Amino acid sequence: MTGMQIPDFELYTPGLEAGWRKTRSEMALDNPHVKVERAHFITPNRSAEVPWMVVQRKAAVAVAPVLEDGRFVMVHQERLPVMQTMWEFPAGQIDTEVTRESIIHTVVNELREECGCVIDPDGGTLQPLGWYFPSQGFTDEIVYLFTAKPVCVVSRPQPDGSEHISDVRFVSAGELRGMIAANAITNALTLALYARIAAQGLAAAGGMAE
């Protein structure tokens, strides 16, 4: 982070769309990882209050690290709920109040912890790509998306005690597309982040190797 300017980007604010209102709620579960809320909503297109169970989770980040030669850095991470080790872009939850500074701090930490990378101090950039909702039907979780380029590999991954990363892999844009097409990548954060990269033409325009 030293010497790198924090980019300006929009933060998501819930409830800005006209016609929405949460009328009442109660907590069914409250622990350090998730909260489950029984809530009632007024919506723009329904005449009666709508009850809904909402799982609240911390906001998170996902970042696509790109090496000087254009290859993406991916990690092979165990995911306990689905009992599978998955190829993913580095990602992690924001443990403090969500601000631009805390989002960028989390991105930089996840790069170092999950794939042993730092943003090149001589001209490296962190580009915001908006956000997405991983499963908007039951949770309010939001994930902010970024690319970091170029990055330098400076160490082995150093995941926290609850995580296990078995491998780090460098893949070209063409190889990544092939993994997605072959259903070798099935996690939402990697699919969403690559979709945003491809939609903005960054995979071609940013010198990312095929």
Provide the pLDDT for residue 207. Answer: 47
Grade residue 190 by pLDDT with cuts at 50, 70 and 90. Answer: very high
> Which one has a higher pLDDT value, 101 or 161?
101
Closest to 145 (Cα-Cα) out of 7, 4, 50, 3: 7
Please give the helix or strand (H or E) that residue 199 lies within, else none. helix 188-199
Residue 104 pLDDT exceeds 60: yes
Q: What is the pLDDT of residues 9-23, one digit of tens each?
A: 999 998 889 999 999
Residue owning tokens 């190829």: 87
Q: Where are the domains of the chain?
A: 21-56, 60-205
Provide the pLDDT for residue 195. Answer: 96
Angstrom distance (rounded) from CA 83 to CA 78: 7
CATH says 60-205 is which class?
alpha beta
Provide the pLDDT for residue 124. Answer: 92
Angstrom distance (rounded) from CA 142 to CA 58: 8
Grade residue 208 by pLDDT with cuts at 50, 70 and 90. Answer: low
CB 193 within 8 A of CB 187: no
Provide the pLDDT for residue 210. Answer: 60
Angstrom distance (rounded) from CA 146 to CA 100: 12
- Residue 132 vs residues 42, 49, 63, 141, 202: alpha-carbon distances, Å: 23, 26, 13, 9, 18
Residue 2 pLDDT exceeds 90: no
Q: What angle do CA 117, 121, 125 make, to 5 degrees?
A: 80
- Residue 199 vs residues 69, 136, 187, 196, 205: alpha-carbon distances, Å: 21, 21, 18, 5, 11
pTM of the model: 0.92
What is the average pLDDT value for the chain, to the nearest integer? 92
Q: What is the pLDDT of residues 11-56, one digit of tens each?
A: 999 888 999 999 999 999 999 889 999 999 999 999 899 999 999 9
3-state secondary structure 22-50: EEEEEEEEECCCCEEEEEEEECCCCCCCE
For 67, half-sphere exposure in the C-beta direction (CA atoms, 13 angstrom radius) is 17
